[in-house]
Homo-oligomer: A and B are copies of this chain.
Amino acid sequence: MITVDDDLLREMYRRMSRIRKFEDTTKELLLAGELYGAFHTSTGQESSILKTRNALRIHDSMVGTHRSHGHPIGKGAQLDRLLAELMGKETGVNQGKGGSMHLSDFSIGSLGETSIVGSGLPVATGAALAYKMRGDDNVSLCFFGDGASNQGTFHESLNLAAIWKLPVVYVCENNGYGELTSAKDAISVEDISIRAVGYDMPGVTVDGQDVLAVFEAVSEAVDRARRGDGPSLVETKTYRFENHAVGRLPEHYRSSEEVEYWRTERDPLALFHQVLIERGFDEQQIDDLDAAVSEEIVAAIEFARQSPAPPPEAAFTHLFSPSAG
């Protein structure tokens, strides 16, 4: 059992709140026409995303998915450059080249989100290979969805990591659906974590709405990786509150009762709020945290709006890195 002190609880809440408010804001701006692109939000999955500072260090890296707004935030990225990216601005973290499906921040170890489902697993595996070869004790964290667990890259990556004992933690955010298809119809097993058996690595399924449970499972896996004991698979059962892509696509594939249930009973922020109260925080303290985040959001919107668009020539830059080669 990992002890979580008040500072850490506060920081966890703050990051969850940042993700939630960021997503609420982006959805609003999208529907108002100020943002554009294929837009997959993480609302509802905040706990599952969160890897606060004790589990993951700044030099550790992570790779995300198309549903990626939350991931760099969870790792500590600045909101303003993320939001500027969603507006396609020059100050955006990808200089306007990536947008919603590619939010990244290499400065804090977010190696970018990749929107081809399953394509990030080999990349995260390769980062871990580099760490192992160099002998530093970094860990590579790899996010992917339930849908992605059916891609061949899942299999190949887990096998590679296992035979090479790589410091990588595979976190499957099982939100029950890949686009409109239920995980039940697409995946041959109930718990994806059982697939770890096929790679002789630990596999565990946790309640993805319980941030402390996720934190514990991931911390254990990260410690194991850092010790040189190899990879793990952690599955978090979670839910996305919004539709697959905001403002697009039909919603007939799941019942409104189901959505309602998760929104009201299984909201990770509300559940964690509860925990904080039980742990002796008062409402005011929590309000203060939220208020600080709201200020950050307001500033981020301002920053993004004021930022210049990239000049037309920018379409041609970054095809290659500058190189002596």
Which residues of A approach B to under 8 Å, CB–CB? Answer: 150-156, 158-159, 162-163, 185-189, 194-195, 197-201
A150 to B198, CA, bound (A): 11
Contact B163 A156 (CB under 8 A): no
Please give 11 more A-B residue pairs, beta carbons under 8 A apart, in addition to A159-B187, A189-B199, A197-B197. A150-B156, A151-B152, A152-B152, A152-B153, A154-B155, A155-B155, A162-B188, A163-B186, A188-B201, A197-B198, A198-B198
Q: Measured between C-beta atoms, what is the minimum distance from A184 to chain B in Å?
A: 9
A258 to B140, CA, bound (A): 39
Q: What chain B residues lie within 8 Å of A201 (beta carbons)?
A: 188
A198 to B159, CA, bound (A): 13
| Residue in A150, A188, A201 whose Cβ sees the most chain B Cβ within 10 Å | A188
A158 to B185, CA, bound (A): 14
Contact A185 B197 (CB under 8 A): no
Contact B197 A188 (CB under 8 A): no
Q: Measured between C-beta atoms, what is the minimum distance from A235 to chain B in Å?
A: 13
Q: What chain B residues lie within 8 Å of A199 (beta carbons)?
A: 188-189
Contact A152 B163 (CB under 8 A): no
Contact A189 B200 (CB under 8 A): yes
A154 to B150, CA, bound (A): 11
A159 to B198, CA, bound (A): 13
Contact B151 A163 (CB under 8 A): no
A194 to B198, CA, bound (A): 6
Q: What chain B residues lie within 8 Å of A198 (beta carbons)?
A: 188-189, 194-195, 197-198
A20 to B165, CA, bound (A): 40
A185 to B162, CA, bound (A): 11
Given the known interface contacts A194-B197, A195-B198, the answer about A159 and B163 at a Cβ–Cβ threshold of 8 Å is: no
Cross-interface CB contact of A188 among B153, B189, B194, B200, cutoff 8 Å:
B200
A173 to B47, CA, bound (A): 44
Contact B156 A151 (CB under 8 A): yes
A54 to B154, CA, bound (A): 37
Q: Measured between C-beta atoms, what is the minimum distance from A303 to chain B in Å?
A: 42
Q: Which residue on B lies nearest to A186, using beta carbons?
A: B163
Q: Which residue on B lies nearest to A152, using beta carbons?
A: B152
Pull 17 A–B residue pairs with CB atoms less than 8 Å apart, ordered by A.
A151-B155, A152-B152, A152-B154, A152-B155, A152-B156, A155-B155, A155-B156, A158-B188, A163-B185, A163-B186, A188-B198, A188-B199, A188-B201, A189-B200, A194-B197, A194-B198, A197-B198
A298 to B144, CA, bound (A): 58
Q: What chain B residues lie within 8 Å of A200 (beta carbons)?
A: 188-189
A185 to B187, CA, bound (A): 29
